[in-house]
Amino acid sequence: MKQRQLGPFTVSAIGLGCMNLSHAYGVPPSAEQGGQVLLAALDAGVTLFDTAALYGFGANEELVGRVLKPHRQQIVLTSKCGMTGVEGKRVIDGRPDTLRQTCEDSLRRLQTDVIDLYYLHRWDRQVPIEDSVGALADLVAAGKIRSIGLSEVSAATLARAQAVHPIAAVQSEYSLWTRNPEIALLDACRAQNVALVAFSPLGRGFLAGGVRDPSGFAANDIRRAMPRFQAEHFSRNLRLLDALQGLATETGFTLAQLAMGWLLAQSEQVIPIPGTSNLRHLQENLSADTVTLDMEVLTRLDAIVNENTVSGARYNAATQQEIDTEEFGVSVQPA
């Protein structure tokens, strides 16, 4: 696979987001099936694997650790702290002592002595970002982690964190239908040589054509709470998918290849981490590494799906309060 730079690491241009092997989209696959996906990604040339303490409340780290331990020297292993499961509930806690304990727990579950890239999963507004990043810097000094990342933060918060310790990557939702990083974060990452790791590059399945009827989502599928998948918005968004399908038919690419190809073309700083539990979808996603879209196709994709044509916010109001990412229509303060 083609390679891109992630802090001090050279990684596959497309990584694997491991979340849905244990978490978020209804009943997860069996551990056996999850292991097959991890090993198939490895065999296909993926070297970047992304997990978190939150995913499956530790189960995802255990799966990744168990399956990939024999291949540890071949991969760049990333995880996250600052948002975990406590007594069955998701809790954001960026206090230094909590981050240190979460790291120890993650090292044990991942069966490794060091995590290559460790993200602050969410900025806890009750704790100055400098304090949380300072705790992660201590973990670097202790040899527990090799580099520091942030997730769902603004360009201004990135600048504050950089003043404490170099930041290798910012993880943010970025895709044809979620353009928030284009407000300020992508430019900040370019200027500071920070990788932008794009989660949900396929719009949580929508851009790949895998979601036509959200009413079939499992009761615990997190997309049920996302406005874009609710009836009043989804019917409008389906028209975008129909237009994308027309372009896919015309060009001979799949929907996933178009969406991933567009994202890879935005900047060398961008590293998508699509997730899947399906081996065929995995191969389709990774095949975007070989796709080159000409400027006409990129322009048409831009015109079909963008912040003005998508209906509905990406998060509900409660979740929106937990993130620091810039939003359209809100003035951006200088970093």
Catalytically annotated residues:
55
CA distance 144 to 326: 31
DSSP secondary structure string for all residues of 273-333? ----S-HHHHHHHHGGGG----HHHHHHHHHHSSTTTS-S-SS-HHHHTT-----TTSPPP
189 contacts: CB under 8 Å, gap ≥ 6: 158, 170, 181, 195, 196, 267, 269
Q: Which two tokens stand for residue 89?
A: 């509930």
Nearest to 53 by CA among 128, 107, 94: 107
Question: Counting beta carbons within 10 angstroms of the beta carbon of residue 72, is it exposed (0 to 12), middle (13 to 18) or buried (19 or more)?
Answer: middle
CA distance 179 to 263: 10
Q: Which two tokens stand for residue 15?
A: 């990584």
CA distance 290 to 285: 10
Alpha-carbon separation of residue 169 from 7, 19, 103, 300, 318 (angstroms): 7, 18, 18, 29, 26
CA distance 229 to 211: 9
What is the separation, in whole angstroms, between the first and last Cα of the chain? 35
